[in-house]
Structure 1
Amino acid sequence: MEYELSFSAADLAQTRFAVSPMWEVVTSFRLLNVETDPPLHRHWAAQVRPRLLSAGLDRGWLAALIPGAGYIADFLNPTPAGPFPELSAELAGIRASSPENVRADLATIAGKSRPAARLRLLHEDPEAVLEKVTDEIQTYWELALAPYWPRLRQLLEADVFHRARQVAEHGSAHVLNELHDTVSWDDGTLRMVRRQCSLTRDESGAGLLLVPSAFAWPRVLTRAVAPDPPQLAYPARGIGTLWEPRATKATDAVAAVLGRSRTLLLAELDTPASTTQLARHSGLSAAAVSQHLTALRDAGLVTGHRAGRSVLYARTAIADALLTPVGAGTP
């Protein structure tokens, strides 16, 4: 089935990009909510799935609202106010969802083999239950995405900057025509070949919001809720190399400044890890690792994220830049 989104000059002028944490939440949870491993994200999924099972998120609110296939509740993706919203702002937008919109989404979900008890509670008292939903989203974020967010955000921002440059060089029509093989632009109309979600001007407001996603591949996803602009989440460029090990060949130069132990820990943190895991891999004592991580965190080189009873540490973009050989560049 083909859907068409017509554009006036004003709609084209209001077309913009945004990097949305909530779109990464819904698309990544969707990937994890199927039995097979996602081919492009197998390494990430192998690390994250055990944490989610331990926290019971496989049978919580997100499992009720985000299926492995089919319709995703629109209220989970409020329209970002700017190009790079924080998760906290989007969670506030979810909590501010009108009961009418929430119940309309639940009516679409009804009869699609979701946990009926949870959906019934949400239908009866959206305001109270949305607090629980956003609390669970925050937990999911800390377990599944926050430790990897610097890497994910770099990929998504790079996509936005690339396409913004393409708009400047070739115009908006060129960029819209290259988003995805199911999307095409012709004579003021964006055409989409889709099987599940519609996207028409009658169902949404002016403009268009384009959202690159690391986890939407291989499809595009949409949100159309008037009076908001329609949203189109599409696979970001470079997903195939997202989880490849990052270059750390500049360790000798960094070690001369930070010391070899702290540089070793930074190199180990290509994948987020706990103090215990780092001690085992580095040969340092847990106490020494903890001391070094505190110093690295204070310097803005690592971040800590609560995962159950332990804390996962991850390198920051600053640390990645330090460990990248001069002239190697980044994607």
Structure 2
Amino acid sequence: MLRYRLVDADIGGIRFGISPLCELGLSLRAIRDPGAFPLQLGWLRRTEAARSRIDMTTLMALIDDRLWTPDFLNPRPASPLTRIDEEFAALEALDPDVFTHDLEAVHGRVPAPLRGDRPAAIRRTVRALRQLWDEAFAPHWPRMRAVLEADVVYRGRRISRHGLADMFGGLSSTVSFDGTVVSIALRDPTDREYAGAGLTLVPTMFTRRASAPVGDGPPMLMYPARGQGALWETEAVPDVDAVAALLGASRTRLLAALGQPASSTELAVRFDVTPSAVNQHLRVLRDAGLLTAVRYGRSVLYLRSELGSALLAAGGA
């Protein structure tokens, strides 16, 4: 069990962040064990050919059989606007002692592909991660980031409407908050407790429960982002009649708005129409293959499909 004991200043300083490097490192879990990440099979299929051009020997040396990754791949993001180039620059300047320490904390040793000259090993690691980013992430990152950002917005609303305990309880079944202590049930049997230094919450598509740094770094909790299943959902073959029914301003506005995941309730408020009218339009758009939809708890999140994006681009919308 991992516990973060929060004092008053920490509670006021709880923040959300998005780390492209963290997402990049955690994606090695899905690559290593695809069956454990069914929501990301779409990403794995789409990037299979691209990943064949990457230095996977170096990348697979970063992850162990427990699907743990070294802490230098999980930097604490300062905001939801962190850029991958900034994180790569920090990784390139990593202290070799920290590089070795973090690898040993995961593997118990430095894996063979990363032994020898440590600065050279760091450069090789960064080069392989850049390859993974360029080949498998960059083409999809705008949509992936949209899902992560939508999650941050949703959690912020939960805090404002229902309080911190409700928000923490909704992150994962393994996370709880009693008003002072955030408890995370991890697979690591070691009990750890930390106090002070705030807490950063990071949504990710590549954890099934909740994750935290392996070592004693700044308090950070990585949790599964909601709505991610809609991102890679296979699109049905469009129904010609349903596509024809798209002609109309209301559906075009909805399609344009769904570059980020949203529920019918949110859309009804934003466009000042009834939920029943929104649901009717959304059903038509989904049947036409222009939207994907996934249930999350009591809500259904909608997201524009690639076909929908292509239609808007062709129409100049």
Are 1:215 and 2:206 counterparts? yes
Counterpart residue identity of residue 32, structure 1:
I
Cα shift at 1:56: 4.3
Question: For residues 79 and 192 of structure 1, what CA distance do their matches in structure 2 show?
Answer: 18
Aligned to 1:118: 113
Q: Report the AA paired with residue 170 of structure 2.
A: E
User: Structure 2: how far apart are the matches of 1:12 and 1:198?
Assistant: 25
CA contact (8 A) 1:7 1:189 kept: yes
Q: Distance in 2 between matches of 1:319 and 1:58?
A: 32
Q: Which runs of 5+ in 2 are unaligned?
A: 250-304
How many residue pairs end up in the alignment? 254
Deviations 1:16-54 (A, max 9, x none): 00111112112222111126473212222122123212x
2:55 equivalent in structure 1: 57
Task: Return the TM-score normalized by structure 1.
Answer: 0.67
Separation (CA, whole Å) in 2 of partners of 1:231 and 1:177: 16
- What CA deviation, in whole Å up to 9, does each residue of 1:280-310 have, x standing for no partner? xxxxxxxxxxxxxxxxxxxxxxxxxxxxxxx
- CA deviation map 1:104-129 (0-9, x unaligned): 112223457x8x322322xx42x332
3-state SS in 2 of match to 1:178: helix
Q: What stretches of structure 1 of length at least 5 have no aligned partner?
A: 255-314, 326-331
Aligned counterparts of 2:169 and 2:223: Cα–Cα separation in 1: 12
User: 1:96-154, CA deviations, whole angstroms, 9 ceiling, x for partnerless residues?
Assistant: 32223222112223457x8x322322xx42x3322221121111011111111121111
Residue identity in the other structure for 1:45: L
Question: Equivalences for 1:248-327 in 2 at 5 Å?
Answer: 249=243, 319=309, 322=312
Assess, with a 3 A threshold, how the Cα gap between structure 1 residues 197 and 83 changes in structure 2: closer, same or farther: farther
Q: CA deviation at 1:319?
A: 4.6
Q: Distance in 1 between matches of 2:163 and 2:36?
A: 38
AA matched with 1:106: L
- Shift in alpha-carbon separation, 1:149–1:249, aligned structure 2, 3 A: farther
Contact 1:31–1:68 (Cα < 8 Å) also in 2:
no
Q: Hey, what's the Cα distance between the residues in 1 that align with 2:123 and 2:220?
A: 24
* Match 1:84 to one of 76, 81, 101: 81
Q: Distance in 2 between matches of 1:17 and 1:199?
A: 25
Amino acid at match of 1:108: A
Task: Decide whether aligned partners of structure 1 residues 249 and 201 sit closer, same or farther in structure 2, where only a CA change above 3 A counts.
Answer: farther
CA 1:220/1:103 → structure 2, altered by over 3 Å: closer, same or farther?
A: same
| Residues 156-165 or 235-244, more deviating | 235-244
Residues 163-216 of structure 1 deviation map (CA, whole Å, 9 limit, x = unaligned)? 1122222222321122100011113011111112868454x8611111111222
Q: Deviations over 1:194-241 (max 9, x none)?
A: 112868454x8611111111222x221112655x53111111011222
Q: Distance in 2 between matches of 1:174 and 1:324?
A: 43
Paired residues for 1:54-203 under 5 Å: 55-59=53-57, 61-67=58-64, 69-111=66-108, 116-121=111-116, 124-125=117-118, 127-196=119-188, 200-202=192-194
> RMSD of the alignment, in Å?
3.4
Q: Does structure 2 retain, via aligned residues, the 8 Å contact 1:78–1:93?
A: no
Secondary structure at the counterpart of residue 184 of structure 1: strand
Residue matched to 1:299: none
What are the Cα deviations for residues 62-103 of structure 1, in whole angstroms up to 9, with x where unaligned? 110123534311011222232221101111121232223222
Structure 2 counterpart of 1:84, one-letter code: L
Secondary structure of the residue aligned to 1:221 is coil
Query: Secondary structure in 2 aligned to 1:78?
Result: coil
Runs of 4+ in 1 over 3 A off after TM superposition: 35-38, 109-112, 197-202, 245-254, 318-325
Structure 2 CA distance for partners of 1:139 and 1:163, relative to 1, 3 Å: same
TM-superposed CA distance for 1:159, in Å, is 0.2
Matched, 1:231 2:220: yes
Percent identity between the two aligned chains: 32
State how far apart, in whole Å, the 2-side matches of 1:65 and 1:222 are. Answer: 16
Shift in Å at residue 252 of structure 1? 6.9
CA distance in 2, matches of 1:120, 1:131: 12
Residue 56 of structure 2 contacts residue 128 of structure 2 at CA under 8 Å; is this kept in 1? no
Structure 2 residue matching 1:222: 3-state secondary structure: coil
Contact 1:70–1:196 (CA<8 Å) still a contact in 2? no
After TM superposition, the score normalised by the length of structure 2 is: 0.69
